[in-house]
Structure 1
């Protein structure tokens, strides 16, 4: 794990996510990319309304990013490598294209804005990225603070998957932070025993060099089950895999993602197949 991307929209939610990301990156020795995405789609027919040009928007936002970088270096030192970018487009497509081009290993972004409108936009953007991103995405709720990562829960179900590939980023994080991993199977109240055995073996092979403990909960409300486990075990990061047609996929539709992220007050990391 070498690079991190933090989408920046200069909101309060972004500020909190950036603070978490900086402390995370300092510990993990990651290169941070700050990316501001602007949608230059506003057109006014009113001659009395001034609309900045695309070039003016880029210049202004890059200035704000550079000020942000200077403050970061004052607080964390110039050893923490930070690069600033400003690009036009829609957030999901632009972030994914940037992540592929720059070989980003992890995206960290805020889960909630300062008001109702920004909350809905940021919330839905974070949720969509968690479903559709080309790399792992960590959502940071407005109350989440970085206190290290020593207890991580991987919450999953009994669906077949290439766990060796999916869990590699998680294994990297565990190695960096020397964390203990809990594997929590949350299953529907009625599930076939043989399904659980097969999945358990797949996960065991993928985590063969990582110490972990296994737990199983039969529950029809995934968010409540994971939130309770996080509280009981003093977990400081929850990890889930948003696969279509899985019991867990419902988490990635509003308001379930917010419910889980905000009830637990821990980062929510989405891994992908």
Structure 2
């Protein structure tokens, strides 16, 4: 701990930041949850080493586990290979099956405004037509994101995971955001393998938001 403190004092002269060190017994995510609650933390920023050959190590990484299990605060994961800069755009995949809340999307909106990064709302179309409820939720999302720059995109694909991957890779998008559903993780858009793939992509930061009703 003392070595870490000396390292931070030596390498961080930015007076806009302060550093606090915590040495507490317990699992990584349990301690995080307690600190978030106690200190009223608004965003968890966590680094990761994506692209490892050891898949078991990847799937057990703190970054991915934190996105999956810490739900009382947004989690922003930044791979170590990413150069810190304003993203060119933020991809926001959605099924339009959730009743969006402004508070849930507040971090996404703030990042978009601060960085001037437009939000690209991505819907993967399979065979079914939009339901009335989806249309209503889409209108609600438009209203909530009204103060940001955003656009809608529809990609026709029978494979949702592949569709999302193709979209952000073809556009060279530099950030992805999603809503983490507690009882239906990623809704019908993503499955756990996709979560782990996104969370361990060595080239793109991932912002995990949370359904505050759960």
Give me the TM-score of the superposition, normalised by structure 2: 0.83
- Aligned residue in 2 for 1:158: 96
For structure 2, the residue ranges without an aligned partner over 5 or more in a row are none
CA distance in 2, matches of 1:151, 1:115: 29
Root mean square deviation of aligned Cα: 2.4
Question: In the alignment, does 2:21 pair up with 1:84?
Answer: yes
- Aligned residue in 2 for 1:271: 209
CA distance in 1, matches of 2:198, 2:129: 23
**TM alignment of 1:4-15, pairs within 5 A:** none
The match for 1:181 among 110, 113, 119 is 119
CA distance in 1, matches of 2:124, 2:7: 41
Question: In the alignment, does 2:36 pair up with 1:109?
Answer: no
Q: Is the 8 A contact 2:91 2:175 kept in 1?
A: yes
- Aligned residue in 2 for 1:65: 4
Bigger helix share: 1
| 1:183-233 Cα deviation digits (max 9, x unpaired) | 112344324342431221110111122121111223343332222221232
Query: What is the deviation of 1:263?
Result: 5.0
CA distance in 1, matches of 2:179, 2:94: 7
Query: What is the deviation of 1:121?
Result: 2.7
Q: Say if 1:187 and 1:271 are closer, same or farther in 2 by CA, change over 3 A.
A: farther
Question: In the alignment, does 2:185 pair up with 1:248?
Answer: no
The match for 1:172 among 104, 107, 110 is 110
The match for 1:259 among 197, 205, 209 is 197
CA distance in 2, matches of 1:220, 1:129: 30
Q: Is the 8 A contact 1:227 1:263 kept in 2?
A: no
Query: What is the deviation of 1:80?
Result: 2.6
CA distance in 2, matches of 1:205, 1:131: 28
User: Higher Cα Rg: structure 1 or 2?
Assistant: 1
Query: What is the deviation of 1:71?
Result: 3.2
Q: Say if 1:80 and 1:91 are closer, same or farther in 2 by CA, change over 3 A.
A: same
Q: Is the 8 A contact 1:223 1:260 kept in 2?
A: no
CA distance in 1, matches of 2:76, 2:122: 19
Give me the TM-score of the superposition, normalised by structure 1: 0.66
CA distance in 2, matches of 1:119, 1:264: 11
CA distance in 2, matches of 1:128, 1:118: 12
| 1:35-62 Cα deviation digits (max 9, x unpaired) | xxxxxxxxxxxxxxxxxxxxxxxxxxx2
Aligned length: 205
The match for 2:128 among 165, 175, 190 is 190
- Aligned residue in 2 for 1:221: 159
CA distance in 2, matches of 1:115, 1:70: 33
